[in-house]
Amino acid sequence: MANPCKLGCGRVLLSTAVVHYAAAALSDRGRKRPSNEDAFGFSVEHGVYVVCDGMGGAAAGEIASSLAVDEVLRLLTSRAGDEAAPLEQAPKEVVEQAICAANEAIYFRAQRNPQLSGMGTTLVGLLTGERRVLVFNVGDSRCYRLRDRRPDQSGLEQITLDHSLVEEQVRIGRMTPAEALRSPLRNVITRALGTQSCVTPDLFELEAEPGDLFLLCSDGLTRELSDPLIESLLGLDLPLDGLCARLVNAAKKAGGQDNITCLLVRAES
Ligand code: CA
């Protein structure tokens, strides 16, 4: 099946190039779950950022999400002999290969160990370059971009599309967003790493401007907080680690039903 791929949005490039990025992340068990099956990892130096949300019985979800983070980071930061960051090479192929390898690592580990059978994980990732970024995802963990707009416009844009049963029903008009939130099927995801021998990510290539703020997060954040609330919290004048703490605390205050993870990446001039 063809892979949906969104290319640049046609904006005129600014003369000011983005020259570097800053990042911070925070993960929390939440208030109801006994353990944290989310995982994250990043390397500002290599321009690679990943958030995963694992699933499976006992410790399987934790194993799946941490395996995926480790494998994708390892593959995207250590291409032997290549000095350039992955985004400056052949990014889409590199990302697809890394996702495929992470998928196989989880899948074959589950095959070897019956206690891990059925484990899997979502993955949302970001590769950064000087003027553009590549977002990739499998499952219902999301990437948003906050960009300065006029005061009457929302600057927060959801970049990824959830691979979940209810979101797919919403997209074809068979369910309203409110029905999706209440549906008993809301936890069913339609694509995951590790549950089948092969998986393909969605890829979104975007231009980056100084000031852009990217949020990668698990559904423990987005089920508790509306997009307008996320946008208002991201607009606070705080360092990135302070913004992560505000997001996580707000999600816990709103219920904290699930593990909560957020990773923020800011493009700076
Ligand atoms: Ca979750």
Mean pLDDT, rounded, for 221-226:
96
Ligand 1 centroid to Cα of residue 92, in Å, is 26
Ligand 1 centroid to Cα of residue 3, in Å, is 24
Number of helices (H), then strands (E), belonging to the chain: the values are 7, 12
The larger pLDDT score, comparing residue 81 to residue 26, is at 26
Cα diameter, the chain: 55
Ligand 1 centroid to Cα of residue 258, in Å, is 6
Band the pLDDT of 13: cuts 50, 70, 90: very low
Q: Could you give the CA distance from residue 7 to residue 206 in angstroms, rounded to a whole number?
A: 7
Residues measured by CB to lie within 5 Å of ligand 1, the ion: 53, 218-220, 258
β-strand partners of 156: 146
Q: What is the pLDDT of residue 221?
A: 98
- What's the chain's average pLDDT? 89
Q: What is the pLDDT of residue 82?
A: 52
Q: Could you give the CA distance from residue 83 to residue 103 in angstroms, rounded to a whole number?
A: 26
- Output the pTM of the full model: 0.89
Q: What is the pLDDT of residue 179?
A: 93
Ligand 1 centroid to Cα of residue 121, in Å, is 9
7 pLDDT higher than 60: no
Q: What is the pLDDT of residue 79?
A: 59
Ligand 1 centroid to Cα of residue 10, in Å, is 34
Ligand 1 centroid to Cα of residue 220, in Å, is 5
Are 107 and 194 contacting, i.e. CB atoms less than 8 angstroms apart?
Answer: yes
Q: Render pLDDT for 230-249 as a digit per residue (tens, 0 to 9).
A: 999 999 999 999 999 999 99
Ligand 1 centroid to Cα of residue 242, in Å, is 22
Got the DSSP string for 53-112? EEESTTTHHHHHHHHHHHHHHHHHH--TT--S-GGGS-HHHHHHHHHHHHHHHHHHHHHH
Q: Could you give the CA distance from residue 133 to residue 209 in angstroms, rounded to a whole number?
A: 10
Mean pLDDT, rounded, for 253-262:
97
Ligand 1 centroid to Cα of residue 94, in Å, is 27
Mean pLDDT, rounded, for 129-154:
89
Give the Å distances, CA to CA, from 71 to 4, 11, 66, 123, 251: 24, 34, 8, 12, 29
Ligand 1 centroid to Cα of residue 133, in Å, is 25
Ligand 1 centroid to Cα of residue 261, in Å, is 9
122 pLDDT higher than 50: yes
The larger pLDDT score, comparing residue 193 to residue 1, is at 193
Q: What is the pLDDT of residue 78?
A: 78
Ligand 1 centroid to Cα of residue 135, in Å, is 20
